[in-house]
Chain A
């Protein structure tokens, strides 16, 4: 089974990307999905499928990245993403070094740039960075010789999560074209939603966003994206969960970022859960067999009910396994290349 290829209507808007995302026709950094073509996403999906098989072997080890060094720099808490990158690198025999904010020179006040320069001087082939500030990975990409992978920056982008979500959907449906994908939750702060939208739109999905008005970014609320040619012009925005779920092929619940709810975007968690939580009865509005996804970590009982999160239609655990395979595919594509000159 091969992934559909060929340019979709949205292919015309693929930006060349800043910070030298490509060098000599080869991808050098993964910063967001806005500079991924449809063919490139299709190739990543194919490669991820091959990588997934390696994870099911008795000996989960292949020598592809022997002698390569991958450094993860996580300036925000994370379990699954960091561990996923670490496992991906180790399965491919790379050396993986983890740097976190606490317990490193970051605590002594070293700037991001100087920390990254130090790490590059230790011959890092790939630097994986998560940072609370949007644009931090782009900043490093424009200044360092290593390949940079964005593992989540502020509320901007989380491209590896979006790619693993696309792979997960594709592995169940065989094609993403024409699917109705509903993203429900805190869209205002969600880098997962933002990157997913780029990828889903490019693969030809019909995307619907659903949230309380206070959690919808203003450019989606006021219709300023409705310009013809805007890649998100066809994205539907819906404040009623019932209307949004109707005919959905995929339901993606987002984590309600409790740490960001002090600003009073929602009256209370109970209210949010009652109006927007994905429950078994609401799920009946979606297509039979619709997939339920969540990027994790979940607040069960808030944005998703436990019986749905662990129910027959949930592919949430699969997303975690697929995340390792997807990161193997990206690391292999970036790190197996010769080192780039700074």
Chain B
């Protein structure tokens, strides 16, 4: 292997803002407005992204959409690794029964997290629809899952990692493509 390459910036702050703005418009377009729409961010970085999309929808429609946070650790299919990963609280301060739930995550990769998240959602009620919004789709799906709203498609190799940084957690907004350590 060659020496580790410097990270490539895939999205900068302005590009992230535009991508989220477009997703917010697309969510409204697809659902005919914000009526009956709830956003559920996946822990950890999906949560601030969901809050931002909700704020944008609030600006466009004058009707705020509820935002929840979901941790799907207990529904994952890789028990060994799930046991060691940190868990964050799930917060669902509304009934999702009959609602159009938009799951929000930072990166869509194998699709396994989304599978786990859909199982978790089922324990909270029966949504009329589940849609998926992701900031980055990096490919390499292992399950029949596709996103409804995508900020940016980023072709990657399995050796690379997509590093999404959000101001609320990481202090800055950007998306980097980095060579996996030891990869």
Over the window 38-70 of chain B, the binary record of Cβ atoms lying under 8 Å from chain A Cβ atoms (1 yes, 0 no) is 000000000000000000000000000000000
Is there contact, CB below 8 Å, between B87 and A46?
A: yes
Interface positions of A from 18 to 70, Cβ below 8 Å from B? 26, 43, 46-47, 49-54, 57-59, 61-64
Known: A50-B87, A50-B88, A332-B83. A57 touches B124 (CB 8 A): yes
A336 within 8 A of B: yes
In residues 160-210 of chain A, which contact B (Cβ within 8 Å)? none
Chain A residues numbered 58-104 whose CB sits less than 8 Å from any CB in chain B: 58-59, 61-64, 92
What's the least CB distance linking B81 to chain A, in Å? 9
Contact of A47 among B75, B86, B123, B124 (CB under 8 A): B86
- Interface residue? A338 (CB, 8 A): yes
Min CB gap B7→A, angstroms: 26
Does B99 have its Cβ within 8 Å of any Cβ on chain A? no
Taking the closest CB of chain B, its distance from the CB of A206, in whole angstroms, is 28
Q: Is there an interface contact between A336 and B79, defined as CB atoms closer than 8 Å?
A: yes
* Chain B contacts for A92, CB-based, 8 A: 74
Closest residue on chain B to residue A62 by CB atoms: B74
Closest B residue by C-beta to A328: B74
Contacts of B84 in A (CB 8 A): 26, 333, 337
- Say how far B153's CB is from chain A's closest CB, in angstroms: 32
Cβ of B125 to closest chain A Cβ, rounded Å:
8
B71 CB–A CB distance under 8 Å: yes
Instruction: Give chain B residues whose Cβ lies under 8 Å from the Cβ of A334.
Output: 83
Which of chain A's residues have a CB closer than 8 A to the CB of B71?
50
Question: What 0/1 readout, one digit per residue, does chain A (329-342) give for beta carbons within 8 Å of chain B?
Answer: 10011111110000
Is there contact, CB below 8 Å, between B86 and A64? no
A57 closest partner in B (C-beta):
B123
Complex Cα distance A171/B32, Å?
42
Interface 1/0s, chain B 113-142, versus A by CB < 8 A?
000000110011000000000000000000
Contact residue among B75, B79, B80, B91 (Cβ-Cβ distance under 8 Å from A62): B75
Asked if residues B80 and A336 are in contact (CB atoms below 8 Å), the reply is: yes
Return chain A residues, CB-CB under 8 Å to B83.
332-337
Which residues from 228 to 249 on chain A have a C-beta closer than 8 Å to any C-beta of chain B?
A: none
Q: Is the CB of B123 within 8 A of A59?
A: yes
CA distance A206 to B180 in the complex (A): 44
Contact A61–B123 (Cβ < 8 Å): yes
Q: Is the CB of B82 within 8 A of A63?
A: no
Which of A58, A64, A329, A333 is the most central at the interface, judged by chain B CB atoms within 10 Å of its CB? A64
Question: Which residues of the partner chain A approach B74 to less than 8 Å between Cβ atoms?
Answer: 54, 62-64, 92, 332
- Residue B73 is within 8 A (CB to CB) of chain A in the complex: yes
CA distance A332 to B87 in the complex (A): 11
B144, CB-defined interface residue at 8 Å: no
Selected contact of B87 from candidates A47, A63, A338, CB within 8 Å:
A47
Q: Taking CB as reference atom, which chain A residue is nearest B125?
A: A58
Q: Which of A51, A61, A64 sits near B82, CB closer than 8 Å?
A: A64
Are A62 and B123 interface neighbours, CB within 8 A? yes
The yes or no answer to B21 lying at the interface (CB within 8 A) is no
B89 sits at the interface (CB 8 A)? yes
Q: Give complex CA distance A64, B89 in Å.
A: 16
Q: What chain A residues lie within 8 Å of B120 (beta carbons)?
A: 62
| A-B residue pairs in contact (CB < 8 Å), sample of 28 | A26-B84, A46-B87, A46-B88, A47-B86, A50-B71, A50-B87, A50-B88, A50-B89, A52-B89, A53-B90, A53-B91, A57-B123, A57-B124, A58-B124, A59-B124, A62-B120, A63-B74, A64-B75, A92-B74, A332-B74, A332-B83, A334-B83, A336-B79, A336-B82, A337-B79, A337-B80, A337-B84, A338-B79
Q: Which residues of B contact A (CB under 8 A)?
A: 71, 73-76, 79-80, 82-84, 86-91, 119-120, 123-124
In addition to A59-B124, A64-B73, 12 A-B residue pairs with Cβ atoms within 8 Å of each other are A46-B86, A47-B86, A47-B87, A50-B90, A51-B87, A53-B91, A57-B124, A64-B82, A332-B74, A332-B83, A336-B83, A337-B84
Question: Hey, which bits of chain A sit against chain B, CB under 8 A?
Answer: 26, 43, 46-47, 49-54, 57-59, 61-64, 92, 329, 332-338
The 6 closest A-B pairs by CB, nearest first: A336-B83, A62-B74, A50-B87, A64-B74, A336-B79, A59-B123
